[in-house]
Amino acid sequence: MLYFIARRVLLMIPTLFIISALVYFIIDLPPGDCVTSQIEELLARGDPDAHQRAEELRQLYGLNLPLWHRYLDWVAGIFRWDFGLSCQDTVPVADLISERMMLTIIMETCTIIFIWVVSFVIGVYAATHQYKWGDYVASFIGFIGLSIPNFLLALVLLYVGKVYFGLSIGGLMDPEYIDKPLSWGKIVSVMQHLIIPVVVIGMSGTAGMIRRLRANLLDELQKQYVVTGRAKGLPPMRLLVKYPLRHAINPFVADIGGLLPDVISGSVIVSVVLSLPTTGPMLLSALKTQDVNLAATFLLFVAVLTVIGMLISDLALAALDPRIRFGASSEK
């Protein structure tokens, strides 16, 4: 088992280096750079020193250096928590992302927990009550969640909340707590405002997990060992938990790694719609302006979460399924 964990951890390192290189080089592929748009604005105003200002900015951001040189400087700075300068207000990337990163981690963690808990309960109930009203309701929720984009659901909730209830559900905290130090009131405000974003972002993931768990569990419930257990008089709950659910839950656990990038990518547009102070709006702006350092840092953060999610998924599967543990031991 220790060999299994060590091998997975060691594989994370080259994976992250390859992802970081691809991200950094792809963001820089379009013509121009982050200074181009700023210079165009200066030229539109008739500034005679626009071109001189452009050269100064390119030297400041290191854009006059070769791309590979900038990438190596950026990677070396990661180990010092220095991600370079952002073209937005010429401030260090680490200062820009610190608070937004924490709020993003809190929101994504709550979303993952919501998806897991809700989809597990509804999926098991729908499979054990096939063709009952609860199964039809679960199927309806699944179809709605899979067919409606997250940002459209956010717009609908914004409209319904404002027109019918007089509520403003945008933002991640009350206005009086913005830019204020952490306090109990701020924590309570964040938790209250998290409900709508978590439901909106987690809707599609929850719907997909419900459908997969229901299908896997229904398949297991039709197998011969379940019929034998019933014939021997095993209590229904014990039979369900001990045998078919243990088999059906493997794909459910394996989806942890895939959930993280889906949730993070789905939250970008939702954060813009709901005016959430997370990394989503800033990432979108960084990609538009070709702010390579800022965009690459955000995307590397997504890659780290994805790789960690896959590691957690592998470890959870190894803990649940003896076949994986024994396979890992035999490889050693």
Burial status of residue 148 (CB atoms within 10 A of its CB: 0-12, 13-18, 19 or more):
middle
Which two tokens mark 226?
Answer: 């379940």
Eight-state DSSP code of residue 132: S
Sequence ranges of the domains in the chain: 31-82, 94-331
Helices (H), the chain: 2-27, 34-44, 50-61, 67-78, 93-128, 133-147, 150-165, 184-221, 224-231, 236-242, 244-254, 256-273, 279-289, 292-320, 322-331
From 131, 6, 110, 20, select the one nearest 71 (Cα to Cα).
20
Distances (CA, A) of 216 to 6, 213, 317, 322: 31, 5, 16, 19
Q: Name the architecture of domain 94-331.
A: Orthogonal Bundle (1.10)
Which two tokens mark 64?
Answer: 């006059």
**Residue written as token pair 């009086």:** 176
From 152, 150, 151, 116, select the one nearest 260 (Cα to Cα).
116
Instruction: Report how far residue 304's alpha carbon sits from residue 283's, in angstroms, rounded to the nearest whole number.
Output: 16
pTM value surpassing 0.85: no
> Which pLDDT tens digits describe the chain residue by residue (332 residues)?
677 777 778 888 888 888 888 888 888 887 777 777 777 776 777 767 767 777 777 777 777 778 888 888 888 888 888 888 887 777 888 888 877 787 788 888 888 889 888 888 888 888 888 888 888 888 887 888 888 888 888 888 888 877 777 666 777 777 777 777 777 777 787 787 788 888 888 888 888 888 888 888 888 888 888 888 888 888 888 888 888 888 888 777 777 777 777 787 777 888 888 878 788 888 888 888 788 888 888 888 888 888 887 888 778 777 777 666 665 444 44
Find the Cα–Cα–Cα–Cα dihedral 117, 273, 137, 212, rounded to 10°: -50
Instruction: Report how far residue 9's alpha carbon sits from residue 13's, in angstroms, rounded to the nearest whole number.
Output: 7
Distances (CA, A) of 320 to 173, 193, 247: 39, 35, 9
